[in-house]
Amino acid sequence: MVLSNIPFGENINAQASVVTQGSCAMELIKTDSTDSVEPGQNLIYHLKLTNIGTANCTGGGVQLKEYYDEKTIFVSSNPTPTSGNNLWNFGTMAPEAMREVDVTTKVSNTALDGDVIKNKACFWTREYNTWTCVEETTTVRIPPPPPSNVCENPIIINFDKDGQDNTISKGQVIDSEYNNLGINITAVNNNATHPQIAIVFDSANPSGAINGDHIKDIDLGTPNIMFAGPGLSETGDNKEPSNNTALYNLLIIPDNNKNTTPADGYIDDPNDEPAGGTFSFSFSKPYAFHSIQFIDLDYSTGSVKGYLDTAGAVQEFSLNASKLGGNSVQKISGDKTTEIKLLKISGNDSYAIDNLTLCPIVVPPVCGNTVPETGEDCDLGSALNGIACTPEYNSSCSYCSNDCHTISLNGPTCGDANVNIGNEDCDLGLAQNGVACTADYNQTCQYCSNICRFVTLTGPKCGDGIKNGSEECDGTDGISAGQTCSVESCTIQTTPTPTPTPTPSPEPTPTPTPTPTPTPTPTPVPTPTPVPSCITNCGGGGGGGGVILNAPRLLMSKQANTFSVCTREDVQYTVKITNIGNEIGRNLVFTDSLPTGFTYATTSDTLVSMNLGDIASYETKTISYIAHVSASASSGAHINSANAKVDNGSSTNNFTTAQVSVNVLENCATAVYPILSITKTVSEAFINPDGTANFTIIVKNSGTDTAYSVNLTDILPTGFSAIDGIVNWNLGDIQTGESKTTTFRAKANKDINPGTYSNIASAIATNHDEIKTQANIDVRKGTVLGESIKLTRLPNTGAGTKVLVYFIANLLALLAGIVIYKKTKVYGFYG
């Protein structure tokens, strides 16, 4: 047998003594929750009883019994005792069987500092046939006295006003008038045949002569006649020095509840019950008892009792009220610190009470009780506190921590140096995003933009109209009169001057026989070198045109007819392909690899492929096709990329790509939600530096619910600025089926590098996730054909007309020479 007494937290191992084979042997371990305790605190004991023997322990049941110290009050136990509050019968306990009991007691408020609380636990079995016990001791320690202002902001119930500050009338029944303060009032009449209620008595105008015992309750009048009041004693000389203040309304237990003159809900003739009774005040907020006044307690004593529970099972204190003279007033005071849940005020006499004073107890907040309290931001309960949220891209979320404070988390965003798949192409961090690269000659380079998208820049090359590096010329840059520039090698080509055919020398003619002089062969007019010129579409949109190479160049945009879709529904994609080059693109081929779970039209194909033939300079081909979303498609964003390519031209210009994202909804069975889509177009195919582009953005709601507080934002690429300075618009609500269109103009900087720039627009609503789209704009350098030229009129020198005639005559002669030259070449006239 082992008897152990181990305080919580100590590591003490109890060793069993030698046990005879085939015998019952019990081990009892008892621990307490603390080594010292204060008056009014809970003291918890843990008992563990184990059969460490090799045979059953029997005897009508193994019993465990607690003996509580007189300075403690039993509060609860788990499991519940078999008998009373201190005996448990566990029945037969087999070898290794174990039983545990947790007992909660409360230390009396009257315990003194240094008192030792002794708690004994004992077990009994038939085999032992005696109570075998173990004892635990705990010392009482009283903390320093509280400050003098122990009862701050006391609550005084005087029955003149209710908890909402409304006036209370004579004869009014009082029960829930103070519920907003956490106080409910009931009454028990000692005369079971009389009303079981509490009502208001007007002590300034005593009543009671009509109904009930027909005795006017002048002994409840205040103040006493000594102080010019209506109060009189039924005995003695009617003088009562203690009743010196007007108390106005009092609370009584009545002997009748007649309500007929008039039937207004108020007792007609309030009269107190001669047999007395008990008032009960139950509290849903933490209060301590401060004081109460008894009026006219002259035939019996009274009592004030406080309880720790609303059922009145655990009494905390009991205070006595003395029997005094008629019309007397006495005050009973409490400790003002002990929290109680129920207060009972009793008397076996016709009496009244007034000025119940309570001390609100400031309870430290308890994180985890689901009630946000002072000092807490939130409280979802211990099961939900501390569960972190997961913020979405470019957004934030908040959750309630384990210490009941709101924690905000920021989701992934552009600039955090982490590539967020599905939302970003790249992310080098705030310091490196947006740092443009410099492409070498005839090369391209790629950098990560400020919106975490790749931007490809094309370096200088032959054909861009600007003389670069080792180039002798490029277009018209670097050439002089009589020179041309090779479009393949950017080298200067000198226009050859045709060598005139020499006039043959005439043979000598003998003098006697004169021979006719032959007609000289005319010197052919040299063919002028043709000046290179633009073939077609040399103009441009926005900022004007420029020198364009004789090669195709493709741009493509792609849109879906919806941003969100359910499984088993269709999505219509629309693609526009434009050749912004100056040459026909040969054999245009379009391909689209559909996302997983998407199929082309009614087939099972996941690849869309179309041969679109040739595409002329500045021709746009538009194609639309349907993709079906299968039931197996996963929920979330599905990004779809498409490609277009022609056979001729350079690899950097004869290929283009575009993408669009469609969100597959998780559950569409009964959902009511908005579905926003966004499209963006630019009017110009390309612009020059310092040119202007016109953008149009359309946001549409094709869902089943209104999209609320829609906000539109445009993110201009580096080197562009909005002309009116506005890139954010509040579109308000967008109803089902409604669309809203926004247009704006953006200007490129004068020193912007040539290249293709992506302009992104995004829209978001309070009940819809963010959606994005983009439009590409091409920036080129070159001669702006659309510019106006200011002409300066020169002064008339007097030779204007002659010079003009001379110029026209020479021009006609030149043209005539060209015609003659061509004819001689055609017909072979060489002289």
- Greatest C-alpha distance within the chain: 195
Is 185 in the same domain as 224? yes
Q: Using 50, 70 and 90 to split pLDDT, how confident is the model at 479?
A: confident
Q: Which amino acid is at 400?
A: C
Q: Is the pLDDT of residue 292 over 70?
A: yes
pLDDT tens figures, 614-643 = 999 889 999 999 999 988 899 888 998 999
Q: Is the pLDDT of residue 246 over 90?
A: yes
Is 59 in the same domain as 89? yes
Pair 623, 597: CB distance under 8 Å:
no
Is 809 in the same domain as 772? no
Is 135 in the same domain as 160? no
Retrieve residue 255's tokens.
């002997």
**Is cis: bond before 532, omega within 30 of 0?**
no
Is 186 in the same domain as 294? yes
Instruction: Give me the CATH number covering residue 45.
Output: 2.60.40.10
* Residue the block writes with tokens 């400050």: 147
CA dihedral sign of residues 251, 253, 258, 259:
positive
Pair 257, 319: CB distance under 8 Å:
no
Taking residues 716-720, what's their average pLDDT? Answer: 93
In a domain, 449, yes or no: no
Give the number of C-alpha atoms closer than 13 A to the C-alpha of residue 388, restricted to the C-beta side. 8
Number of domains composing the chain: 5
Give the whole-angstrom CA distance, residue 461 versus residue 470: 10
Is 283 in the same domain as 320? yes
Chosen domain end from 360, 390, 419 = 360
Taking residues 474-485, what's their average pLDDT? Answer: 84
Backbone conformation region of residue 597, classed left if phi is above 0, alpha if psi is from -120 to 50, else beta: left
Is 102 in the same domain as 14? yes
Is 686 in the same domain as 749? yes
In a domain, 162, yes or no: yes
In a domain, 827, yes or no: yes
Give the whole-angstrom CA distance, residue 550 versus residue 463: 9
Is 267 in the same domain as 327? yes
In a domain, 270, yes or no: yes
- Look over the chain and give the mean of its residue pLDDT values, rounded to a whole number: 84
Is 43 in the same domain as 160? no
Taking residues 805-819, what's their average pLDDT? Answer: 52
Is 284 in the same domain as 356? yes
pLDDT tens figures, 348-372 = 999 999 999 999 998 788 899 998 9
In a domain, 168, yes or no: yes
The pLDDT of residue 543: 42
pTM for the full predicted model: 0.37
Domain range for 824 is: 801-831
Is 292 in the same domain as 337? yes
Taking residues 321-347, what's their average pLDDT? Answer: 94
- If you write DSSP's letter for every residue of 743-793 in order, what string do you get? EEEEEE-TTPPSEEEEEEEEEEETTEEEEEEEEEEEE--S--TT------P
Instruction: Give me the CATH number covering residue 350.
Output: 2.60.120
pLDDT tens figures, 170-201 = 999 999 999 999 999 999 999 999 999 999 99
The pLDDT of residue 34: 86
Q: Is the pLDDT of residue 161 over 60?
A: yes
The pLDDT of residue 564: 81
Instruction: Write down the number of H helices and E strands in the chain.
Output: 1, 44
In a domain, 615, yes or no: no
In a domain, 602, yes or no: no
pLDDT tens figures, 539-596 = 444 444 444 457 898 989 898 988 788 888 889 999 999 998 888 999 999 999 999 9
- In terms of pLDDT, which residue wins out, 380 or 528? 380
Taking residues 528-539, what's their average pLDDT? Answer: 38
Q: Using 50, 70 and 90 to split pLDDT, how confident is the model at 148?
A: low
Q: Is the pLDDT of residue 666 over 50?
A: yes
In a domain, 427, yes or no: no
The pLDDT of residue 541: 40
Pair 352, 250: CB distance under 8 Å:
yes
Q: Using 50, 70 and 90 to split pLDDT, how confident is the model at 439?
A: confident
pLDDT tens figures, 43-82 = 999 999 999 999 999 888 899 999 999 999 999 999 999 9
